[in-house]
Amino acid sequence: MTLDGAGRTLTATTREELGLPAVSGAPYRWAFASLVVGTACVPLVLAGMWRTCLAAATIGLVVLPLVHWFEHRDAKRREDVYRFGLEALGRVLDVEPSTGPGRSDHIVRIEFVAAGDVIHASIIGCPLARRGLLPEDQVVVLYAPDRPDRCLVVRKATREIVDAIFED
């Protein structure tokens, strides 16, 4: 977080590097959903198919909005972690490759110290895993202060250069 408390800026390049959606989600289109449900249900009601009408209304006005909300809730949380999260140095414990064909949802397990506690977290879909993140790598982690297990791997940590003087 910046010193004035405003948070980090989230640019298109940063979104791509962190694997965040390109644009924040639009709200659910209630008017369109109501129109589709109404158009589908009027003939069903006239035909006496009450159960089918109720099922169509439930899908269009309950199930689909809930799916939409869950998808955007996760993206919003990840954006908030980037903008307002605290920074820590972590260590990669394990990088699990994706299981599906053509998928890039690697699971990265990390550990870091937050407020004096060692936190173990799993991050699904970490873009750094696709670019050669290995176990025992040091990484920079941003985490939510209220829930440290909600975190993002931002980049590999740069190691300090130590100049050693050896006597012959």
What residue ranges do the domains of the chain occupy? 12-82, 86-156
Percent of the chain with pLDDT over 90: 28
What is the distance between the terminal CA atoms of the chain, rounded to a whole angstrom?
48
Q: Which fold has domain 86-156?
A: OB fold (Dihydrolipoamide Acetyltransferase, E2P) (2.40.50)
User: Count H helices, E strands: the chain?
Assistant: 5, 5
38 contacts 60 by C-beta, under 8 angstroms:
no
Q: What stretch of H or E contains 135?
A: none
Average pLDDT over residues 65-77: 86
User: How many other CB atoms sit within 10 Å of the CB of residue 128?
Assistant: 22
**Which residue, 154, 53, 59, 73, is CA-closest to 110?**
154
Q: Is the pTM of this model over 0.75?
A: no
Residue 150, helix vs strand vs coil = coil
pLDDT of 3 strictly over 60: no
Over residues 75-110, the pLDDT tens digits come to 788 888 888 889 899 999 988 876 666 656 678 899
pLDDT of 24 strictly over 70: no
Please tell me the distance from the alpha carbon of residue 98 to that of residue 130, in angstroms, as a whole number. Answer: 10
- In what side-by-side order are the strands of the sheet with 138-143? 117-124, 107-114, 86-96, 138-143, 151-156
Please tell me the distance from the alpha carbon of residue 136 to that of residue 110, in angstroms, as a whole number. Answer: 9
